[in-house]
Structure formats: structure tokens, C-alpha cells
Structure 1
């Protein structure tokens, strides 16, 4: 194998992963900037989220994005989280449907990208 073909092979192997990773980061930024407050308000009975909601302002951008990822996982896998006692069933029932769709897209886009690599 010739070393001059290495950049081309790297691009072929990792090319589709990089744009999807960038899109996932940008979507997480959007959710953390415009939808995080409605997510936190909808999950007001959850002790797990209420404990972390106080540190949203001091956590910075990375802390907000991590909280969005946590909430998207909790909303998507709500049955498991309700059984473990971290989330109230009333919170999921009253969660805004548009924000729930966005959270599920965030959760599955991250999983889809990790399966491809």
C-alpha cells in the first residue's frame, strides 16, 4: 500500500462520521440555548433534574449540553427511568410533544452516529 493514498483512505473511512458529529453538536447547541428551560420546567417533579437545574448557569455551555443529553436520554427511555424512580410519570405525560420529538431526535442521532463508527 502506498502512503500517498492514506489521506484518501482516511477521508473515505471517517468522512461520513465528521459531518454527522458536527450536526449533532450544533443540534445540541440549539437545544441547550432555546429549549432547555422548557425541558427543565416540564421535568419539575424529577429530583434528578431539579438537582442539576440549579447549576445550569454556572455549568457553562458544556454543562448545558450535557444536561440536554441527559434529559433526551431520560425522555426517550422514560419507562426505565420511571421504574428506577428518577423521573415522575406525570412529568412525561405533561412533557411538550414538540420538545419530546426534538429530544428523541437528539438521542437517536447520537446513537446512530456511534453505531456507524
Structure 2
């Protein structure tokens, strides 16, 4: 194997490890803080429509945390449509909001990196 293939492989491994760490952190957040998050955002239809996912096991909890982090990361879209309450959003604890923002941007970065690696692999022809 060439040096480029080793670099490509290690980078892919790091992305995969990053995704596993992200899932672990998201599940920890879901199992420990979801009630607090839902209490603070109880007047937000976009959040409350997703709230039953907390009873959907680990997969449902991941979807709920991912959905909430997306809403918190891009609030203007939901505020304009009346699906997010600005007062509830402002009362969400800063550190919790920050964690959700970091979670969302990190998963965007990880998925983008995985896609870029896949495209590079297709272009170079390293698939067998």
C-alpha cells in the first residue's frame, strides 16, 4: 500500500471513531439532560412534536437529540414559521445550548468528511 492509501485509511478510521464518540456523547446527553431540555422548550411546537421519540429507545433518543440540536443551531428558520418560541430558546441554559450547537456542527463536519473521503476513493479508484 502507498503512503496516500495509509493516510486515506487512517483518516477514514478517525472519522469513524469520531462518529462513535459523537453517538456516545449524544446518547449520554439524551439519557441525562433530555427532560431538562424539553422542560425549557415546552412552548416550541417543533420540539414538542419530536418529544415522543424519547420513548423510542436509543435510536429514538438519538433522533430527538439530533432534531433538537438542528433546531437550536438554525433557529431563524423555525422562529419565522412560529415553530420555535424565542423566550424558551433564550431561557435554555447557555452551556446546554452550547453543547447542542457543538454536537450539530461536529456531526455536520464528520458526515462531510466521510462524504469527501468516499468521493476521493471513487475518483482515485481505490475500491476493489
Q: TM range, normalised to the smaller chain?
A: 0.7 to 0.9
Structure 1 window deviating more from structure 2 (98-107 vs 14-23): it is: 14-23
Does 2:70 correspond to 1:73? yes
CA-CA distance at 1:116 after TM superposition: 1.4
Structure 1 window deviating more from structure 2 (46-55 vs 82-91): it is: 46-55
Match of 2:95 among 95, 98, 102: 98
1:106 is paired with a residue whose SS is helix
CA-CA distance at 1:81 after TM superposition: 1.4
Q: Distance in 2 between matches of 1:9 and 1:78?
A: 38
What RMSD, in angstroms, separates the aligned Cα atoms of the two structures? 1.9
| Runs of at least 5 residues in structure 2 that lack an aligned partner in the other structure | 115-128
Instruction: Figure out how many residues of one structure are paired with residues of the other and give that number.
Output: 112
Q: TM-score, normalised by structure 2?
A: 0.78
CA-CA distance at 1:30 after TM superposition: 1.0
- Equivalent in the alignment of 1:25: 23
| Runs of at least 5 residues in structure 1 that lack an aligned partner in the other structure | none
Q: Distance in 2 between matches of 1:39 and 1:31?
A: 10
Q: TM-score, normalised by structure 1?
A: 0.84
